[in-house]
């Protein structure tokens, strides 16, 4: 019977093996895992601020109440997720794959004993779920980006699958929680 730790290592080794294919592929893995992040955040923030809700399609471009509330709960969920992630990392101090295994050479150095949960996975899952809760189509695009970034960080050798999965769950739950709390608050007004 395979234990969860063994399954985590098997999945990690299978994905990390992709780095042996070509330097060109490794370049794109590096871009997705390490350089795409701020662009995704900027696009997400920009989308929340400027998209037009159906009731204001013919109005000039400015932030209305609905966009403000979305920005508020998105910021709240993402900040809550990041703080919890940071706290968990500080308490658990889990080694990254390139520290735990001598034969793993990451595509880039990142962190040390702060592997679980993945901060990137937490942040991008929180952002994706926050957007999805109001805008399904765009939310799916952000979920795909969160998935790509998470898997790329495993392939790059800086996270285990459980780190990414833990980050996705934590980020998603924090955004959902912020959404439920803020929506209930603003519906009462």
Work out the average pLDDT over 111-140.
94
Q: How many Cα atoms sit within 13 Å of 175 on the Cβ side?
A: 26
HEC-encoded secondary structure of 33-55: HHHCHHHHHHHHHHHHHHCCCHH
Q: Does residue 182 surpass a pLDDT of 70?
A: yes
Work out the average pLDDT over 84-102.
96
10 Å Cβ neighbour count for 33? 26
In CATH terms, the fold of domain 4-188 is Vanadium-containing Chloroperoxidase; domain 1 (1.20.144)
Its pTM stands at 0.89
CA torsion through residues 76, 80, 86, 89, sign: negative
Residue 3, pLDDT score: 85
Going from N- to C-terminal start, the domains of the chain cover 4-188
Contact assessment for residue 163 and residue 145, using Cβ atoms and an 8 Å cutoff: no
Give phi and psi for 102, each to the nearest 5: -65, -25
Tokens 């042996």 locate to 20
10 Å Cβ neighbour count for 92? 13
Q: How confident is the model at residue 61 (pLDDT cuts 50, 70, 90)?
A: low
Q: How confident is the model at residue 19 (pLDDT cuts 50, 70, 90)?
A: very high
d(CA 42, CA 36): 10
């Amino acid at each position: 019977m395979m234990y969860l730790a063994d399954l985590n290592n098997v999945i990690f080794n299978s994905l990390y093996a992709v780095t042996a294919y070509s330097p060109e592929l490794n370049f794109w893995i590096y871009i997705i895992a390490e350089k795409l992040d701020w662009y995704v955040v900027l696009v997400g923030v920009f989308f929340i601020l400027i998209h037009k809700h159906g009731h204001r399609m013919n109005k000039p471009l400015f932030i209305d109440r609905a966009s403000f509330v979305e920005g508020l709960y998105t910021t709240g969920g993402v900040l809550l997720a990041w703080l919890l992630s940071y706290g968990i990392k500080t308490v658990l101090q889990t080694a990254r794959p390139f520290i735990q295994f001598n034969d793993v050479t990451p595509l880039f150095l990142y962190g040390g004993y702060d592997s679980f949960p993945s901060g990137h996975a937490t942040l991008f899952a929180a952002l994706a779920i926050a957007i999805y809760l109001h805008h399904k189509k765009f939310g799916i695009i952000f979920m795909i980006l969160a998935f790509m970034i998470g898997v790329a960080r495993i392939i790059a050798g800086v996270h285990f699958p459980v780190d990414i999965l833990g980050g996705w769950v934590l980020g998603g739950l924090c955004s959902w929680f912020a959404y439920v709390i803020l929506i209930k608050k603003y519906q009462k007004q």
